[in-house]
């Protein structure tokens, strides 16, 4: 038995917004990837370290699936979510959506997918499933991974069943866009303002020191000691740099995506605070790429002074992003 839904199988920069784009376009809504990310208040920062880790994790977004939840709620879209411990029930959930003529989003461990370029476990990955032929599943992943791709149903089941940090219990989801929904600037204006202010508030007032602007400051203070902290500096530092620039972030640890979101918003929201925030994130994006380059250089050449430079740039990033978010928090006021 097989099933296939006609979709625009175009992969984007980031896994969750790529999937949202597929699901939204199928419902007749063509929002850009930066707009999906921004409306979902996706930008963040987390500095996560633990003894069992080879190297600290530097994340630039909110936790997996949060963009989807926030976006749907903010735009008034229906969001159907299924989770189960049963592999059989998990497949029945997605098969039912496909048979009804809709693609379905899946959260899974990317390292178990046969086409995926990295074998590093990551259970927060999201793809769109649009069909199967009884042997292989047909997916849309990021453009970096090939866009329209396929993997065996056995590997898909294994990826969905994987456990570990950021994993979900065979999570699948579908979007329901109300009839007559308009993605016009007039319809989006209020949602855009709410999303930007909410993101700024969360960034400026994080509950713990590892998040938001405080987390960036902490990373800057600790960066000069990352050579000693790394288990294998020659591998761990370049990998961290690669994840920041090419690990589905859109470049510059998601700052390119947020910069482009703010630029798109500025086309229909005339506000000085928005323009100031956009200038700030244009600068922050360049600085994040400098941090990544410094980490790569340190690992590849053994130049520990590059980590001192990375720490100094992170301190500047914290200042720039704090000022940008401070301006955006007052948007529309």
In this structure, are 116 and 19 located in the same domain? yes
**Secondary structure class of 41 (helix, strand, coil):** coil
Q: What is the pLDDT of residue 277?
A: 98
Q: What is the pLDDT of residue 2?
A: 83
In this structure, are 23 and 155 located in the same domain? yes
By the 10 Å C-beta count (0-12 exposed, 13-18 middle, 19+ buried), 51 is classed as exposed
In this structure, are 301 and 274 located in the same domain? yes
By the 10 Å C-beta count (0-12 exposed, 13-18 middle, 19+ buried), 79 is classed as middle
**Full pLDDT tens readout for the chain, 333 residues:** 788 999 999 999 999 999 999 999 999 999 999 999 999 999 999 999 998 899 999 999 999 999 999 999 999 999 999 999 999 999 999 999 999 999 999 999 999 999 998 888 999 999 999 999 999 999 999 999 999 999 999 999 999 999 988 999 999 999 999 999 999 999 999 999 999 999 999 999 999 999 999 999 999 999 999 999 999 999 999 999 999 999 999 999 999 999 999 999 999 999 999 999 999 999 999 999 999 999 999 999 999 999 999 999 999 999 999 999 999 999 976
Kindly state the tokens that stand for 67. 């963009």
Residue recorded with tokens 């009804």:
100
In this structure, are 7 and 114 located in the same domain? yes
CATH number at residue 128: 3.90.70
Against a cut of 0.85, is the pTM above it? yes
By the 10 Å C-beta count (0-12 exposed, 13-18 middle, 19+ buried), 153 is classed as middle
Instruction: Could you list the beta-strand ranges (E) of 24-135.
Output: 43-48, 57-61, 78-82, 104-108, 125-132
- Structural domain contains residue 252: yes
Q: What is the pLDDT of residue 333?
A: 65
Question: What is the rounded distance in angstroms from the CA atom of residue 134 to the CA atom of residue 2?
Answer: 5
- Structural domain contains residue 132: yes
**211 forms bridges with which residues in the sheet?**
46
What's phi and psi for 88, nearest 5 deg?
-65, -50
Question: Which residues, including other chains, have CB under 8 Å from residue 305's CB and lie 6 or more apart?
Answer: none
Q: What is the pLDDT of residue 332?
A: 72
In this structure, are 146 and 241 located in the same domain? no
């Amino acid at each position: 038995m097989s099933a296939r839904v006609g979709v625009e199988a175009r992969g984007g920069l980031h896994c969750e917004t790529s999937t949202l784009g597929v699901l939204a376009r199928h419902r007749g809504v063509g929002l850009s990837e930066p707009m999906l990310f921004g409306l979902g208040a996706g930008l963040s920062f987390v500095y996560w370290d633990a003894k069992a880790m080879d190297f600290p994790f530097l994340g630039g977004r909110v936790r997996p699936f949060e963009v989807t939840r926030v976006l749907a709620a903010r735009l008034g879209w229906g969001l159907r979510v299924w989770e189960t411990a049963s592999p059989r029930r998990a497949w029945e959930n997605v098969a039912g959506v496909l048979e009804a003529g809709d693609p379905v989003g899946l959260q899974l461990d990317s390292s178990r997918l046969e086409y995926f370029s990295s074998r590093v476990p990551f259970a927060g990955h999201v793809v769109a499933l649009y069909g199967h032929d009884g042997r292989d599943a047909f997916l849309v992943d990021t453009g970096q991974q090939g866009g329209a791709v396929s993997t065996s149903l056995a590997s898909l089941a294994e990826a969905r069943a994987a456990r570990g940090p950021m994993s979900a219990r065979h999570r699948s989801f579908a979007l329901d866009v109300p009839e007559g929904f308009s993605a016009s600037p007039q319809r989006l204006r209020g949602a855009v303002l709410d999303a930007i202010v909410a993101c700024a508030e969360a960034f400026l007032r994080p509950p713990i020191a590892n998040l938001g602007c405080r987390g960036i400051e902490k990373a800057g203070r600790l960066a000069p000691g990352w050579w000693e902290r790394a288990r294998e500096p020659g591998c761990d530092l370049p990998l961290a740099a690669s994840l920041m620039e090419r690990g589905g972030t859109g470049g510059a640890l998601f700052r390119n995506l947020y910069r482009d979101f703010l630029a798109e918003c500025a086309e229909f929201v005339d506000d000085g605070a928005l323009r100031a925030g956009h200038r700030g994130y244009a600068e922050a994006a360049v600085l994040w790429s400098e941090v990544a380059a410094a980490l790569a250089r340190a690992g590849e050449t053994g130049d520990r002074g590059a980590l001192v430079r990375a720490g100094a740039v992170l301190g500047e990033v914290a200042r720039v992003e704090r000022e940008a978010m401070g301006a955006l928090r007052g948007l529309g006021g």
